Structure 1
Amino acid sequence: MRYAGIVVAGGAASRLSGVDKPALSVGGKPLLARAIHALDGAERVVAVGPRRPGFDVVWTREPVPGTGPVAALAAGLVFVPDDVELVAVLAADLPGVRRSTVDKLVAAVGDADGAVLVDADGARQWLLGAWRVAAVKSALPERVENASLRRVLGGLRITEVAAERGESDDIDTPEDLERHR
């Protein structure tokens, strides 16, 4: 199945003293590179956040930078080709994301509106999913700034996909980073 990819690469990283999380290196590779490489099968990859050199992606920003993942998702959707039915959406702080993660999410959408990775505690990882573009566009609120991604996507028909160990981990704190170095 053909799909595009959106990497949410903005964020304030407030719990990491405002460092550029996507540029942090885990296992010798920047987190942003890990997310982009996980989307190797995508027709187009759109990164939403400050432009960073060295990546062959379409760059864009939210109209008001820093207004959250729904605003970032809406900004990225503008660049998804019209003939592509699915979009994989990833955060840029996922040390365990792989192409196989994206492949299984895309395959799991089936007749649903989307598929989302679920961690070991049963929590849906909203920035680790694959979605029908039309369903996401119709679910977006009129005002996307500071909207809750869980509320926007949570009303859609969702297939849950169990995460493998470490696959849904993200880097939010210095302790998270140390654990994955």
Structure 2
Amino acid sequence: MAADFAAVVLAGGSARRLGGVDKVLLPVGGRTLLDRTLDAVVDADPVVVVGRPRTTSRPVEWTLEDPPGGGPLAGVHAGLLKVPASMPLVAVLAGDHPHLTAATISRLMQALRADPEASGAVLADDGGNPQWLVGVWRTAAVRVSMPAEIRNRALRSVFAPLAPLRVRASGAEASDVDTPEDLSRARQAREGDG
């Protein structure tokens, strides 16, 4: 059966708060952060990763944002350029969420499919705050919302007006890795799972 959704995974950024390491290649529970994210979209086709090519556990299509270093919205835009126009849904994810699973993406897709008027569905943290880089969107809605100027523009400025459904996160699935403390927490949680 052909996939009915694509995935755009952002794997750029400078990881300044982690000392400039290649954050998405940091291991958590024996797998890199990027591979953990790719595991969550195992049923997507195509899977487009925005960032410089690296070794991954599965084949992906690589692309770079234009302009280079233009921020997450520029990354989303670059990824969308690689998604076929006929693809109805696209998961948009950051590559640094160690607790995402295919079940997370499935819940987002179910919520979106249950509401034909909704433009997207995003994970919401314990405070109800939307996690703009953990969502499933109607591809056409995101394409239409892209502004002419994307460099260093906040994702929220484009995604919030689309009024996505908010799906409550389960456990730590909304957490990401931005600091050494985040990485330590993710590793401890994974050790506790094993």
Counting only pairs closer than 5 Å after superposition, residues 22-101 of structure 1 correspond to structure 2 as: 22-54=24-56, 55-101=58-104
Deviation at 1:154, TM superposition (A): 0.4
In the alignment, what sits opposite 2:106? 103
Aligned partners of 1:65, 1:29: CA distance in 2, in Å? 27
Structure 1 match to 2:5? 3
Does structure 1 residue 121 correspond to structure 2 residue 127?
A: yes
Deviations 1:108-157 (A, max 9, x none): 11320000000001110000000011110111110111111001010003
Distance 1:25 1:19 in 2: 12
1:157 maps to amino acid: A
- The letter of the residue matching 1:80 is V
**CA distance, structure 2, for counterparts of residue 142 and residue 82 of structure 1:** 19
Q: Please state if 1:144 is matched with 2:150.
A: yes
Supply the AA of the counterpart residue of 2:174: S
Structure 1 residue 53 displacement after superposition: 2.1
Q: Which residue of 2 aligns with 1:130?
A: 136
SS at match of 1:155: helix
Q: Distance in 2 between matches of 1:157 and 1:178?
A: 34
Taking structure 1 as the reference length, the TM-score comes to: 0.97
What corresponds to 2:19 in structure 1? 17
What is the identity, as a one-letter code, of the residue corresponding to 1:90? L
Tell me the equivalent position of 2:191: none
Q: Secondary structure at the match of 1:40?
A: coil
Tell me which structure has the larger Cα radius of gyration.
2
- Unpaired segments ≥5 residues, structure 1: none
Count of aligned pairs = 181
In structure 2, distance between residues paired with 1:155 and 1:149: 10
Is there any run of 5+ residues in structure 2 with no aligned partner, and where?
188-194
Letter in 1 for 2:84: P
SS at match of 1:63: coil
Question: Which SS does the other structure have where 2:162 is aligned?
Answer: coil
Rounded to whole Å, the distance in 1 between the matches of 2:166 and 2:184 is 29
- Shift of the alpha carbon at 1:82? 2.0
Distance of 1:153 and 1:166 partners within structure 2: 23
- Which shows bigger deviation, 58-67 or 22-31? 58-67
Identity of counterpart residues, as a percentage? 47
Q: Deviations over 1:63-86 (max 9, x none)?
A: 222211100000000111222111
Aligned-pair CA distance for 1:41:
1.1
Q: Deviations over 1:9-66 (max 9, x none)?
A: 0011111111111000000100000111110111210000111023400000012222
Query: What RMSD in Å do the two structures reach over aligned CA positions?
Result: 1.1
In 2: Cα distance, 1:96 partner to 1:35 partner: 8
